[in-house]
Amino acid sequence: MSTTPEFREHRYVLNMGPQHPSTHGVLRVILEMEGEYVMDPQPVLGYGHRMHEKMAESRSWPGFLPNAARMDYLASLIYNHGYVGVVERLAGIEATPRAEYIRVITSELNRLQSHLLWLGVLVLDLGAFTPIMYTFEDREKILDILEDVTGSRLTYCYMRVGGVVRDIDDKFIERTREYIKWQRSRMPMYDKLVTGNIIFRKRVEGIGEFTPDLARRYGLTGPVLRGTGVAYDIRRAEPYSVYPDFDFEIPTETGGDCLAAYLVRVREIEQSLRILEQALDRLPEGPFLAKVPKKIKLPAGDATYAVESPRGELVYHLTADGSEVPYRMKIRVPSFSNLSILPEVCRGMLLSDLCACMGSLDLVIPEIDR
């Protein structure tokens, strides 16, 4: 699209959000449009700001645990994991092996449900109403399993420093195995219904392309980055917990477009299932919560802990001054960086493509606003 000055006067501003159906939450994007073409999208953040980082600095560290779950409501357990990880690293506590396995299992279940929701929502953004209902059927199974062990369905507060709150039992293992089988049997259906569909392919192929270089400059991580061919996954790049024990692939695609990000996520579903299987097979016996002192003072110093959330790299950076209250807590959330590429990639795009593009970035707005 040409952006000659005489076109400029035909531009108008379209305000998308904060209550627009495809911004999923309270994201607002101010679009400068020329006809149907988006010439300058500017995301406006902060509608869901709850100052989580500040809250971390104003209470003793265990009090922040429930907050961690509420930043990204689709990956609460992974956020839990990151937070207990950083505290453990700073305080020099080790979780028991069984606890680490349980953490990985629940985290992967959490990742699966996030990817399933995203799959439905992306297709919903593209105008198909039905696949989301099918993914919800699968997702419901995960939520039932997790509810049984964690006690909640969305904002889990399950992990503790040194381990987890409740042990998993045989029923859990059995149900998870059943679920793995079920999910495997469902994937060919999504392949045919969504991936193979010509309308879907035409809507995502070649849309919102970017290079690894650009992705790196904007700090993109997660499936969006892996869609450009960079096999960067914290579970491999900076292994944490017991991930090194497992044999799994980091799926990559080379397109760098929405389709590539889509395919990466769909393949990740299979990889997560593989991790789950292995973890269930090798689950060690032992206590699920290490013996830790009742009150843990955070020693003065810094610690950083990175985990792979379904959307990319999630980093907790904790600075403590020797008291129970953290001095500073910095959280690097993946969606924030992923969103920042929107103005660059979506310039000159059709409005419909912008929706597809935002859908494939898999934004979770409360995580961005924090």
Given the rule CB under 8 A, which residues bind another protein? Answer: 12, 14, 20-22, 36, 59, 62-67, 70, 123-130, 133-134, 137, 140, 144, 147-152, 155, 157, 165-166, 189, 192-193, 196-200, 202-203, 350-353, 355
Q: Which CB, 197 or 304, lies closer to another protein?
A: 197
In degrees and rounded to multiples of 5, residue 17 shows phi and psi of 100, 180
Residue 6 burial (CB < 10 Å; 0-12/13-18/19+)?
exposed
Q: What is the largest CA-CA distance in the chain?
A: 72
Structure-token match 């999910």, residue found: 183
Distance (Å) of CA 199 to CA 118, 126, 193, 195: 19, 9, 11, 10
Angle between helices 170-190 and 258-282 (to 10 degrees): 150
Q: Which CB, 131 or 256, lies closer to another protein?
A: 131
Q: What is the enclosing helix (H) or strand (E) of 349?
A: strand 349-350
Minimum distance between the CB of residue 59 and another protein, rounded to whole angstroms?
Answer: 6
Q: Which CB, 89 or 201, lies closer to another protein?
A: 201
Pairing, β 37-44 against β 28-34? antiparallel
Q: Which CB, 123 or 275, lies closer to another protein?
A: 123
Q: What is the DSSP letter of 50?
A: -
Minimum distance between the CB of residue 50 and another protein, rounded to whole angstroms?
Answer: 12
Token pair in block for residue 338: 């992923």
Distinct helix (H) and strand (E) counts, the chain: 16, 9
Token pair in block for residue 34: 């020329």
Residue pair 338/94 in contact by the 8 Å Cβ criterion: no
Minimum distance between the CB of residue 75 and another protein, rounded to whole angstroms?
Answer: 17
Minimum distance between the CB of residue 276 and another protein, rounded to whole angstroms?
Answer: 20
Minimum distance between the CB of residue 205 and another protein, rounded to whole angstroms?
Answer: 11
Minimum distance between the CB of residue 230 and another protein, rounded to whole angstroms?
Answer: 28
Q: Which CB, 54 or 217, lies closer to another protein?
A: 54
Q: Which CB, 139 or 235, lies closer to another protein?
A: 139
